[in-house]
Chains A and B, each alone.
Chain A
Amino acid sequence: MAIAIERPRSVLRNRLEPILGFGLLLPSMLVFLVFFYAPAAFLAYISFFHWNIFTSQSQFIGLGNFLILFAQPLFWQALFTSLYFAAVMVPAATLLSLGLALLLREGIRSRRGGVLRSMVFLPHVTPVVATSIIWIWLFDPQFGLLNSILGFFHLPQPGWLASTHWAMPAVIIYSLWHSLGLYTVLFLGALATLPRSVLEAAQVDGAKRWYLFRRVILPLVSPVTFFVVVLATINTLQSFSQIYALTGGPHGGAGGPAFATTTDSLLVYQTAFLYQHFSLASAMSLMLFILILGLALMQKWVADRFVFYR
């Protein structure tokens, strides 16, 4: 009886259900489409035009923007700086965070272990500009804490952010400080799920520490290692805030000294929002887009062959 009464209404409900679903998804989808997908599609379009956004006058120039770009030494220098940044940052971040995770692993579930992990993680959630301010001071060649420590041990004291050679390493040190916590925690998560039986079996078999690490732990954490490598690559190639804040803020000095820290992201920012060359900046962005996606896909291809998934 009750079922007979229920039926017509639920038929109606079934008809309305998809509409309800679309309605619930609408706010999120609208934001994604307007602010992310439309710009992504738009990017390819503007790159092939000579274009003024304020008057909306546009003229198709084909590959013109790219040709202008390739003729500029600064474009190649920025690309090189980005790749240099990634080439140092990605291996350093991966190895150091794996090392930190192995160091912090024991007793991680205890209260004290948790506190140590949180201390390493804290920098990752701090605002970049605010912490860059203190790092500028730590990097100060004369009064900075870093050079005081180096001086105490009679080591050479570089000029850090004031030197064209040492500005990029300074940026890398800051970036490591800010991001290692995240990667370490990712590795700790993987190490926590290692099957205890496997580790114990290896120990019973008399495996040495190094052998245990090389033959047991490393293969088992390889999926996370891959994830960290991809994440570090993408994050590094998209770095902007810390370089902007560390190397001089808004007086046009960001990216210095002498363009030593001008990465692709900085060059895009300067070209578009300081010099108003929107088409040129779009062409550059499109290259960055392809570079980042391409590297991510390439790493996926490599991982499919070498990473051991359980």
Chain B
Amino acid sequence: MAKWGITAARILVAVAFVAPVYWILVIATGVRGSAYSLPPVFLPAFHFHALWTVLTQTHWLRYLANSVLITSVTIVCVLISSALAGYALAEVRMPGKQMFFYLIIGVMMLPAQALLVPQYVVMFHLHLLNTYAGLIVPFVANTSGIFLFRQYFMKLPASYREIARIENVGTWTYIRRVAVPLARPAVATVTLLTFISSWNQFQWPLIMTNSTAIDPIELALTHYMQTYQANWRELSSAALLAILPIVIVFLFTQKHIVAAVAGGDQGSKE
């Protein structure tokens, strides 16, 4: 009996966490006015009229494209910069390595909220306000990415590098053709983490842009809240579009994401 109760409690708790995400679908695809029905309607009606309106009569496709562009370019850049720096920390003998180590870790200690004002000044003087580059460049270096790659590169046998040296293979080629392919789990983890943080980016674009042409979706959503304030179906449909890519990726990579975000062994390694 007690065991049955515990199982029920676990399922109830898990469902409560997912319920709000499910509720977006219910409101977005409900029949007109169903958001206001009392008692509430608990099942989605799958009326995609509101979603269609959002896609065809607004600039929503543009915002989606902006987010896709910003996210994909950021991912590629983070992978390159992290792999290079990770390799330097793992394999290259150089003076002052300790200092670089602390500089890379130190970035994580800086409270991001407190830096926005001076960062805005820097962005202003570099002419990066209101540009795609301004939404990408500050995020192309990533401490956890660097350390992940370093960790995998340190596990590579020293003999691989010796062979490369004897065969006269250049460092760049070695990183690209040997080291990175062997660090595939690091590539996957960095890609997923960057995807999540870049796709969910909100405060930075809010401050650093004021033209709707380059808005990523999260920022565009706050503008929608003004325009569609009372139209819950349209607003929820727009939110659904922002959430869907994340939820789809999460469904397929949940174990990996959980392990990546929390770090370490989460019982996810088979």
Contacts and interface: CB of A to CB of B under 8 A. Distances in A.
Interface in A98-154: 100, 103-104, 106, 108-109, 114-131, 133-135, 137-138, 143, 145, 148
A37 B111 CA distance: 11
Given A27-B85, A134-B23, A185-B261, A240 B113 contact: yes
A34 interface: yes
Given A129-B218, A250-B223, A25 B113 contact: no
A286 interface: yes
Interface in B86-118: 87-89, 92-95, 97, 100, 103-104, 106-107, 109-118
Interface string A189-204: 1001100000000000
A25 B141 CA distance: 10
A18 B23 CA distance: 56
A17 to B, nearest CB: 6
Contacts of A177: 17, 20
Given A121-B258, A133-B225, A240-B113, A22 B20 contact: no
Most buried by B among A180, A193, A237, A249: A249
B35 A39 contact: no
A281 interface: yes
A29 B23 contact: no
B221 interface: yes
A37 B38 CA distance: 54
A268 B40 contact: no
Nearest to A2: B166
30 contacts: A17-B92, A18-B93, A24-B85, A25-B100, A38-B118, A38-B122, A40-B115, A46-B121, A53-B120, A103-B6, A106-B6, A114-B267, A118-B254, A119-B17, A122-B18, A122-B250, A127-B199, A131-B21, A131-B239, A143-B35, A143-B40, A189-B262, A192-B265, A237-B111, A244-B206, A245-B222, A249-B222, A268-B116, A285-B114, A293-B109
Interface of B: 6, 9-11, 13-15, 17-18, 20-21, 23-24, 27, 35-36, 38-40, 80-82, 84-85, 87-89, 92-95, 97, 100, 103-104, 106-107, 109-122, 124, 126, 137-138, 140-142, 146, 165-166, 171, 196, 199-200, 202-203, 206-207, 217-219, 221-223, 225-226, 232, 235-236, 239-240, 242-243, 246-247, 250, 254-255, 257-258, 261-268
Interface of A: 6, 10, 13-14, 17-18, 20-22, 24-25, 27-32, 34-40, 42-43, 46, 53-54, 100, 103-104, 106, 108-109, 114-131, 133-135, 137-138, 143, 145, 148, 177, 180-182, 185-186, 188-189, 192-193, 234, 237-238, 240-241, 244-245, 249-251, 264-265, 268-269, 272-273, 278, 281-282, 285-286, 288-289, 292-293, 296
